[in-house]
């Protein structure tokens, strides 16, 4: 069997995220997969030089909520509700409080008190897994269109980190935590690279 030809080619130039500020907005549905994807995204952002204090993480209930949240995060009105990636040092689970209101109502001090540069990119992360109704199709369709609209309307890159999986296994493998011998690949890493590349391009094109 030949190797797959799928997947992104490396960026033409070395990525440098050291001056960038990036938001991750993720849903809480299908938490096992979300946790792995958010962790993969944060780790790869840091590898490109993005400072932990410049990574802001915000959760929303489900994927359907991602477009509005991304739009608000970009316009700045939700910045204070997010946790910085520094919180991830305590584990992703610290971001998944059983009582989301209590988490979002406790702003990270450095986010609340200081003015910040605008976000250079937002990564929207969700995991949709097909069920027995048409729900999946409606949400996939509306969320993908709405996320595209947010990035075109705002001019800020919105990375499409929404898995649209037909089975649990498809979702697990795309988060690098497959149940079989093949663990798969964590797509969060690709989304981080796409965010840094697009943020850098967008600055140049401004």
- Pick the binder of ligand DLZ from 116, 135, 183, 203 (CB under 6 A): 135
CB of 138 to ligand DLZ, least distance (A): 9
Residues 6+ apart with CB under 8 A from 102: none
- Return the range that interacts with ligand DLZ (CB under 6 A); candidates 13-21, 26-34, 86-94, 191-199: 26-34
Cβ atoms within 10 Å of 194's Cβ, excluding its own = 19
Nearer of residues 47 and 169 to ligand DLZ, judged by Cβ: 169
Nearest alpha-carbon partner for 190 in 48, 64, 95: 48
Q: Are 196 and 17 in contact (CB under 8 A)?
A: yes
State both tokens at 193. Answer: 């690279």
Partnered with residue 128 across adjacent β-strands are: 164
The answer to whether 65 contacts ligand DLZ (rule: CB under 6 A) is: yes
Of 26, 78, 135, 187, the active-site residue reads 135
Cite the DSSP H helix spans in the chain: 31-47, 66-75, 100-104, 109-113, 135-154, 168-173, 187-205
Kindly indicate which of the ranges 91-99, 127-135, 178-186, 188-196 contains the residues binding ligand DLZ, using the contact rule CB under 6 A: 127-135
- The token pair at 37 is 């994807």
Question: Does the active-site annotation cover 135?
Answer: yes
β-partners of residue 189 are none
Choose between 21 and 187: whose C-beta lies nearer to ligand DLZ: 187
Binds ligand DLZ by CB under 6 A, chosen from 41, 63, 71, 84: 63
Is 29 a residue that touches ligand DLZ (CB under 6 A)? yes
Q: Which CB sits closer to ligand DLZ, 61 or 90?
A: 61
Residue 58 three-state SS: strand
Place of tokens 């990574």: 55
- Shortest Cβ distance from residue 200 to ligand DLZ (Å)? 29
Q: Contact at 8 Å (CB) between 80 and 48? A: no
Q: Compute how many residues bind ligand DLZ; rule: CB under 6 A.
A: 15
Give the pair of three-digit tokens for residue 83. Answer: 């946790």
For residues 139 to 178, the per-residue mask of contacts with ligand DLZ, x marking binding by CB under 6 A and - elsewhere, is x---------------------------------------
Q: Which is closer to ligand DLZ, CB of 32 or CB of 110?
A: 32
* Interface residues toward ligand DLZ, by CB under 6 A: 27, 29-30, 61-65, 126-129, 131, 135, 139
Residues assigned a catalytic role: 135
């Amino acid at each position: 069997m030949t190797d797959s030809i799928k997947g992104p080619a490396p960026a033409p130039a070395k990525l440098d995220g050291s001056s960038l500020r990036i938001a991750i907005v993720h849903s809480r549905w299908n938490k096992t997969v979300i946790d792995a994807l958010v962790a993969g995204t944060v780790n790869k952002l840091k590898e490109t030089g993005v400072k932990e204090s410049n990574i802001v993480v915000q959760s929303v209930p489900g994927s359907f909520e991602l477009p509005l949240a991304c739009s608000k995060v970009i316009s700045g009105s939700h910045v204070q509700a997010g946790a910085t990636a520094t919180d991830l040092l305590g584990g992703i689970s610290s971001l998944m409080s059983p009582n989301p209101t209590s988490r979002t109502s406790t702003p990270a001090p450095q986010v609340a008190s200081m003015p910040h540069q605008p976000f250079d990119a937002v990564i929207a992360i969700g995991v949709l897994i097909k069920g027995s109704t048409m729900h999946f199709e409606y949400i996939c369709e509306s969320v993908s269109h709405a996320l595209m609209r947010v990035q075109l309307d705002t001019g800020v890159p919105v990375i499409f980190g929404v898995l649209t999986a037909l089975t649990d296994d498809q979702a697990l493998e795309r988060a690098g935590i497959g149940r079989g011998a093949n663990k798969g690949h964590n797509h969060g890493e690709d989304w981080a690279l796409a965010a840094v590349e697009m943020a850098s391009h967008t600055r140049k094109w401004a």
